[in-house]
Amino acid sequence: MMEAKRKVRGRDAALSRTQIVKAAIVILDRDGEAGLTFKALAERLATGPGAIYGYIANKDDLLAAACDAIVANVMQGRKECADPFDSIKAFAVGIFDAIDERPWVGAALVRLPGQSPLVRVLDAVGQDIRALDVPADREWASTMAVFNYIVGVGGQHAANARLAHSKHWDRTEMLASLARSWSDLDAEEYPFAQSVAPQLSNHDDRADFLAGIEFILVGIRTCSRLIV
């Protein structure tokens, strides 16, 4: 017991914001959003819940800080690409993979507006769009289109993972359950969902995500009449 605590915080080591955020990430990775409570966090840090408030304003602040650490990490791993289109795709996939690995990041991104992680993502997309030499009056809309798409997929991904976690399902069981409920739908009321149910179990989230990014980028390119 004592040893587990010492691993995180030395006997006399002072608390710090980064220490707290690091512990929060461990809990989020292990138990998801629902598992991150101030009680659990304090326990891991071998202190009382009140101590955390010396470094963290509130739970949203904590979630934003944890999310920011992950997003900043994706940022750092970014490679330089000759083609800005490739650069956007690489970055988008980076964010997707991070969310895929840690679904709580997706949930935090949709829920915490104007916070630093979101600005980081928006700015990265904006820089690449700017490098495309999109007409000035299309720059903002183009950036927002890509940004909103990334955040939207992230949110859905997070919600799916949360559901799967709460029902103790893996990905296969999750898709099977969805396919089952969709094939039970009324074909009159939900013709598309009903008909697409059988294909559901063997589709690739990552490929779908990339295809969507591709559509948006091609749309931006076509609308802006960019030569590539």
Partner DNA sequence: ACCTGAACACCGTTCAAGT
Q: Which is nearer to its own copies, 8 or 178 (CB)?
A: 178
User: Which residues, 6 or more positions from 222, have their beta carbon under 8 angstroms from its beta carbon?
Assistant: none
The alpha carbons of the chain give a radius of gyration, in whole angstroms, of 21
Q: For DNA, which stretch binds (CB under 7 A), given 45-53, 81-89, 150-158, 164-172? A: 45-53
**Mask: binding to its own copies, 6-45, rule CB under 8 A, as x and -?**
----------------------------------------
Q: Which is nearer to DNA, 35 or 212 (CB)?
A: 35
Number of residues that bind its own copies (CB under 8 A): 58
Q: Is 18 in the site for DNA (CB under 7 A)?
A: no
Whole-number minimum distance, CB 7 to DNA, in Å? 16
Residue 87 touching its own copies (CB under 8 A): no
Cβ atoms of residues 95 and 104 within 8 Å: no
38 binds DNA (CB under 7 A): yes
The Cα–Cα gap between 92 and 206 comes to 11
Distance, CA of 7 to CA of 15 (rounded, Å) = 13
Lookup: tokens for 98: 């991070």
Closest separation between CB of residue 37 and DNA, Å?
Answer: 3
In the complex, the smallest distance separating the C-beta of residue 204 from its own copies, rounded to whole angstroms, is 10
User: Cβ of 1: how many Cβ atoms within 10 Å?
Assistant: 6
Location of structure tokens 């955040």: 151
182 binds its own copies (CB under 8 A): yes
User: How far apart are alpha carbons 157 and 205 in whole angstroms?
Assistant: 9
| Residues in 112-171 that interact with its own copies by CB under 8 A | 112-114, 119-120, 122-123, 125-127, 130, 138, 140-145, 148-156, 159-160, 162-163
Nearer to its own copies, 42 or 174 (CB): 174
Q: Is 227 exposed, middle or buried (0-12, 13-18, 19+ CB in 10 A)?
A: exposed
**Which phi and psi (to 5°) does residue 198 adopt?**
-60, -30
For tokens 């602040």, name the residue.
61
Q: Does 36 bind DNA (CB under 7 A)?
A: yes
Binding site for DNA (CB under 7 A): 14-15, 36-39, 46-51, 53-54, 58-60
